[in-house]
């Protein structure tokens, strides 16, 4: 896993990044915008995969980390008038702090209890957003004003509302997170995380403090999800409470399951697949969720390890 | 010489059952000690208490002069108490290499280099004769090889006290001979506490034998003394000759 074929793995990941870069110049406008959004949400899925895929902890509360980033960045711009980079970092910091606190509490439980506890905390977070409507805009949400969404580098300024700038910013974030997750997964720490997933008791008996390792994974996962949320607020200009609802805790789980849990590229594939299935089917029928549901059932029946997970199992054993 | 490990009044209850009952035990450094006894005598519970997998109901455990009774298992492992499982519990989906890399990378205090991990892993796999199977998923190894991998993981922890819980269970006779050689090798650098049912193995390896029965120590002594002990024969072998 971590010793074999590093060159192949890095080449593949750099190839995917290059492909996404080239696509920016080829795609028609509508799909161009859609792909930018998908890349940002794929970061969310990658953060989820970190915990679910590699550590084996199934959380149903990750909307809370995404929303922490979304509101952390959005409120910093709207209420405090911070610049885009500062707001982005603020979003990540909010996510990291929330993840640390939730991790300390929720990691006392495992399995089903962990699912329920994370879901409850996420629900509390969602209700808090609604309760403090005077700051958060409640269920209406807030719009991040266009003039504030500018990246300033000395004399030049990049407007994040420009489609190309937006696409490239999303691609930069996606690439960094992809390479960071690849590096983590291949590192010694990644090996410990997988060991915890496979057999926590045995890992303890090899001298590992599994609680601290899991807590660190929750914080890394939460921070990545928050980075996605913060980028979403700054790139697409909308901060809404629906992103904190339970639906946005389940979506990353679906994306990761579809693409393949514990594969580095699975989250992108899953998010992409799901978006395009919805996009195509909603063109034909208003009952598109029915078709999505059937597609999901077929996938689970015939590809229980997700798209990339099945490919790895059958053909490409070296996939990270 | 002070003992490496001592327990004082160590007890563990499961409901009404006293699985380990007021055990006073001492183990000298460098020794190979076998623990034998009928099924349900409390052998595995006893070593689980020593390794920290379960907490004692009462009593005290001292390792290398320090009271470790309240320390969690992973801290005890770091101090040099390694435990290999009775029921094979290697990481089935990871390669043999990764299985051993987990203990190796933790014990490395100095190097961050990949080379150090690789060298450590390959030396542990070499000693157990698994080097040519390094990249196989552990779950696909034969049962005997999985037992050896378990030992390799214990070795890689560089323990001062290695606890082997029924290591030869399910091994073929030819594998057992290699295993005896391996344990002798290990004992040059570590103290070994061995739970074993296979009496020829015990008689060949052990410096001293401790016999458990109904949660208590029934007898303790050299292999010869234990062989002659009438109480042991009655409890363990069932009949007096």
Task: Give the ipTM of the model, two decimals please.
Answer: 0.85
CA B190 from centroid of its chain's CA atoms? 11
pLDDT of residue A16: 96
Rg (C-alpha) for chain B, rounded Å, is 18
pLDDT of residue A5: 67
A208 in contact with chain B, both atoms CB, cutoff 8 A: yes
Cβ proximity of B102 and A207 under 8 Å: no
Q: Select from A53, A187, A206, A305 the residue whose CB has the most chain B CBs within 10 Å, as the one to mutate to test that interface.
A: A206
Q: Which of A4, A195, A209 sits opposite B102 (nearest CB)?
A: A195
Interchain CB contacts (distance < 8 Å): A and B? 65
Name the nearest CA neighbour of A44 among A178, A197, A203, A192. Answer: A178
Range of the domain at A64: 6-245
Q: Could you say which residues from 210 to 239 on chain A have a Cβ atom under 8 Å away from some Cβ of chain B?
A: 210
Mean pLDDT, to the nearest integer, of B89-106? Answer: 91
> Average per-residue pLDDT in chain A?
91
pLDDT of residue A7: 85
pLDDT of B206 strictly over 70: yes
pLDDT band with cut points at 50, 70 and 90 for residue B110: low
B222 in contact with chain A, both atoms CB, cutoff 8 A: no
CA distances from residue A115 to A94, B13, B67 in whole angstroms, order as listed: 22, 33, 38
Report helix, strand or coil for A178.
helix
B/e letters for A6-30, b = 16+ CB within 10 Å, e = fewer, are eeebeebbeebbeebeeebeeeeee
Longest CA–CA separation in chain B, Å: 60
CB contact (8 A) between residue B92 and residue A198: yes
CB contact (8 A) between residue B91 and residue A210: no
Q: How long a stretch of residues is chain B?
A: 241
User: HEC profile for chain B?
Assistant: CCCCEEEEEEEEEECCEEEEEEEEEEECCCCEEEEECCCCCCHHHHHHHHHCCCCCCEEEEEECCEECCCCCHHHHHHHCEEEECCCCCCCCCCEHHHHHHHHHHHHCCCCCCHHHHHHHHHHHHHHCCCHHHCCCEHHHCCHHHHHHHHHHHHHHCCCCEEEEECCCCCCCHHHHHHHHHHHHHHCCCCEEEEECCCHHHHHHHCCEEEEEECCEEEEEECHHHHHHCHHHHHHHHCCCC
Nearest chain B residue (CA) to A194: B94
Name the nearest CA neighbour of B209 among B23, B51, B3, B32. Answer: B32
Q: Which of B72, B91, B135 sits opposite A195 (nearest CB)?
A: B91
Cβ proximity of B177 and B150 under 8 Å: no
Q: Residue A53 falls within a domain, yes or no? A: yes
Q: How many domains does chain A have?
A: 1
Paired residues of A227 in beta bridges: none
pLDDT of residue B239: 56
Q: Which residue has the tokens 């010489």?
A: B1
Q: Residue A155 falls within a domain, yes or no? A: yes
CB contact (8 A) between residue B83 and residue A205: yes
The residue among A291 and B156 whose pLDDT is bigger is B156
B73 in contact with chain A, both atoms CB, cutoff 8 A: yes
pLDDT of residue A6: 78
The whole-angstrom distance between A213's CA and the closest CA on chain B is 12
B15 in contact with chain A, both atoms CB, cutoff 8 A: no
pLDDT of residue A120: 96
Q: Residue A223 falls within a domain, yes or no? A: yes
Nearest chain A residue (CA) to B113: A188
pLDDT of residue B112: 60
Mean pLDDT, to the nearest integer, of B136-145? Answer: 90
CA A235 from centroid of its chain's CA atoms? 15
Side-chain-side CA neighbours of B109 within 13 Å: the count stands at: 3
Q: Residue A83 falls within a domain, yes or no? A: yes
Name the nearest CA neighbour of A243 among A228, A254, A257. Answer: A228
Contacts 24+ apart (CB under 8 A), A284-293: none
pLDDT tens column, B14-61? 988 899 999 999 999 999 999 998 888 899 999 999 999 999 999 999
CA A318 from centroid of its chain's CA atoms? 24
Phi–psi pair at A258, nearest 5 degrees: -65, -50
A191 in contact with chain B, both atoms CB, cutoff 8 A: yes
A187 in contact with chain B, both atoms CB, cutoff 8 A: no
pLDDT of B111 strictly over 90: no
B105 in contact with chain A, both atoms CB, cutoff 8 A: yes
- pLDDT average per 10 residues of sequence, chain A (320 residues): 68 95 93 94 97 95 97 94 94 97 95 95 96 90 88 82 92 97 92 94 92 97 97 94 93 92 94 88 83 81 87 81
Q: Residue A291 falls within a domain, yes or no? A: no
Q: Residue A115 falls within a domain, yes or no? A: yes
Q: Domains in chain B, ordered, with CATH?
A: 31-51+74-237 (3.40.50.300)
pLDDT tens column, A154-189? 778 888 889 999 999 999 999 999 999 999 999 999
Mean pLDDT, to the nearest integer, of B199-213? Answer: 91
Cβ proximity of B166 and B197 under 8 Å: yes
| Pair of tokens at residue A246 | 């339970």
Mean pLDDT, to the nearest integer, of B236-241? Answer: 58
CB contact (8 A) between residue B103 and residue A1: no
Q: Residue A107 falls within a domain, yes or no? A: yes
The whole-angstrom distance between B118's CA and the closest CA on chain A is 9
Q: Residue A294 falls within a domain, yes or no? A: no
């Amino acid at each position: 896993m971590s010793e074999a074929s590093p060159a192949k793995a890095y080449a593949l990941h750099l190839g995917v990044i290059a492909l996404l870069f080239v696509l920016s110049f080829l795609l028609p406008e509508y799909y161009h915008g859609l792909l930018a959004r998908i890349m940002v949400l794929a970061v969310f899925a990658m953060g989820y995969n970190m915990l679910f895929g590699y550590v084996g902890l199934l959380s149903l509360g990750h909307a809370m980390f995404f929303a922490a980033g979304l509101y952390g960045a959005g409120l910093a711009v709207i209420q405090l008038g911070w610049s885009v980079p500062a707001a982005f970092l603020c979003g990540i910091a909010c996510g990291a702090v929330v993840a640390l606190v939730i991790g300390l509490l929720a990691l006392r439980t495992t399995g089903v209890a962990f699912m329920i506890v994370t879901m409850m905390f996420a629900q509390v977070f969602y209700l808090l957003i609604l309760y403090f409507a005077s700051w958060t805009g409640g269920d209406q949400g807030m719009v991040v004003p266009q003039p504030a969404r500018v990246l300033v580098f000395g004399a030049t300024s990049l407007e994040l509302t420009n489609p190309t700038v937006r696409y490239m910013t999303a691609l930069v974030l996606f690439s960094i997170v992809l390479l960071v997750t690849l590096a983590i997964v291949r590192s010694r720490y990644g090996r410990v995380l997988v060991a915890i997933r496979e057999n926590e008791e045995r890992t303890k008996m090899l001298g590992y403090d599994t609680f601290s390792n899991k807590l660190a994974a929750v914080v890394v996962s939460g921070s990545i999800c928050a980075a996605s949320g913060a980028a979403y607020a700054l790139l697409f200009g909308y901060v809404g409470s629906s992103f904190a609802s339970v639906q946005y805790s389940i979506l990353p789980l679906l994306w990761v399951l579809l693409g393949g849990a514990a594969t580095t590229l699975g989250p992108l594939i899953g998010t992409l697949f799901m978006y395009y299935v919805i996009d195509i089917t909603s063109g034909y029928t208003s009952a598109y969720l029915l078709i999505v549901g059937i597609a999901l059932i077929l996938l689970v029946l015939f590809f229980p390890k997700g798209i990339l997970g099945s490919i790895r199992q059958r053909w490409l054993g070296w996939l990270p | 010489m002070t003992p490496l490990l001592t327990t004082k009044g160590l007890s563990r209850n499961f409901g009404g059952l006293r699985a380990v009952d007021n055990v006073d035990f001492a183990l000298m450094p460098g020794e190979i000690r076998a623990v034998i006894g009928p099924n349900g005598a409390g052998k595995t519970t006893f070593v689980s208490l020593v390794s920290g997998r379960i907490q004692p109901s009462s009593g005290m455990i001292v390792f290398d002069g320090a009271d470790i009774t309240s320390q969690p298992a992973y801290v005890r492992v770091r101090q040099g108490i390694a435990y290999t499982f009775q029921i094979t519990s290697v990481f089935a989906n990871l390669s043999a290499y990764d299985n051993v890399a987990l203990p190796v990378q933790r014990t490395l205090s100095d190097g961050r280099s990949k080379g150090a991990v690789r060298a450590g892993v390959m030396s542990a796999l070499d000693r157990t004769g698994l080097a040519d199977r390094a990249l196989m998923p552990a779950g696909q190894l034969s049962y005997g090889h999985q037992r050896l991998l378990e030992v390799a993981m214990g070795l890689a922890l560089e323990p001062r006290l290695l606890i082997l819980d029924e290591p030869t269970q399910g091994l073929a006779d030819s594998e057992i001979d290699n295993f005896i050689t391996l344990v002798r090798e290990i004992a040059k650098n570590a103290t070994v506490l061995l739970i074993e049912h296979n009496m020829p193995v015990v008689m060949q390896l052990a410096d001293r034998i401790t016999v458990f029965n109904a949660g208590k120590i029934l007898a303790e002594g050299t292999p010869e003394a234990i062989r002659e002990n009438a109480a042991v024969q009655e409890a363990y072998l069932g009949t007096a000759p």
